[in-house]
Structure 1
């Protein structure tokens, strides 16, 4: 029988439980269960009343340097009182575990569990508190830099559209539209490069799926896997575009948008220049993430990604946002 190499695997939760018990000095009753096999694989660790999340990075997704920088960022935010899920050291004071998987060396990190749970559509009061939390995080991250990706037009737009291209008929109206929008956004990035937009470390993926809310409305932000360097209003733009995607009723969208922005501005101002850039940057992040879906087809997105998905993503998210703000397509 021929033995074939493996490109992606799901590690046994039973064996991870034993591994984590030993490495973190947890009780023999500790359990481990798979929560999600997505861009990375997330496991729920339960030891009595205490919960953790163990993230297993997929093969070659993040380097040790990138993961270490993420850990430093989270610890710094925690020290400044920002409500984040933070990394937990093992008995040897290490954050990163090396895991010998069938496909090669993978890395794992144990994180504190964010109390509460997720909510798809939440109150204006909660949006206000999200705005406060994001602004406080931005105050800490303003003018800071980490040894990770810097988000620019080449990465967010040029590279992303190149990754999307094989998954859609290039003569389709949706792809022609996407190409025009990309060219317009690239010119806008060039103009913004000389602007006074605040720069620093961004999360890039703050939306309902990466936050927990407890019964008191307190927020914990997690999953900083895409953290990097860029304009801080990338976070604002992406959050607002997600809000627009979820809240289909205009009045409700406007109320929650105002509440979020009021919460943010109660901590630190948003300049007029940043407000003008938010629609452009929000759309750029969405294009970037569609590119990530296409890039990770072999070991994640193949269960949902096809040409219909790409066209729906472009029409229902990117084009809808473009039409809402009446943005130029470019040439």
Structure 2
């Protein structure tokens, strides 16, 4: 497998045991065994009591060749785990490229990527693209085998919440009868034969909650309570956003060909910041119909093609304002705006700050 947006998706490993390490599989439970966690992350977890009172919570920190890495792992209950991390996968071959076999029974994976790209290849299912700034919800049947790859060059920030269906109901303090029918895949206690997934726009409140976990100053039980509260907030935000989604966008199964075409379409749109082009043009370029493009794009990316393009433009503008000294008027022209005022309104509507305020803030 070689995802088109990851030109060198497989990490380059050194040493005689590289092949063995690349084939090592992990489970959620395994990561709370200190020796196994050290083998997976390449660094030992911080000593007991430093962050959490017991080994149901671990923190791993490392700095390899100037590449800092931070992972916060916590088990809330036997059917509820959360992993929050930031860093660069390049020096950590198992983090950047690994395999996982889902334990018996169905699991739900709520994956937030604040930065960095990735892909999941699931046995007997289409690849699931995980672009930067995305929220992907996947239900795996027990026994599903996953190959997971992160871009070896991107710095990333991620948050992963793993829940059994019963835990979803418990965390949301609701019952099956109150869950909309189109979200039954989140709570159905039965078993599915094929993975199902859907995407949502990444809410700024989700981003803030993840950042608060990574920056949490507390220790012991206070830390556990704080991290749990942030993940309860994340789950509530995801659930409410999914409730408001069109039912046909949730749990859609896409063929590998359609998934790859939509991934290419997203890359095309993100590269054309001054002019998106028509939907017919994009559909022809990636080799699918306009209808399949629009429906599949919303199912996979959680938003329309047009909204994705607008968000890419604004994200580009924000990054340039924060990193470069480019003139705001020049930036507006690069993005295809004929008038600076139109660009300023669009930017303020997206981020709640004007371009000048964003530059001053950073």
* Fold similarity call, TM over 0.5: no
The structure carrying a bigger helix percent of its residues is: 1
The structure carrying a bigger strand percent of its residues is: 2
Whose RCO is larger (CA < 8 A, sep 6+)?
1
Q: What TM-score do the two structures reach when normalised by structure 1?
A: 0.29
Q: What TM-score do the two structures reach when normalised by structure 2?
A: 0.27
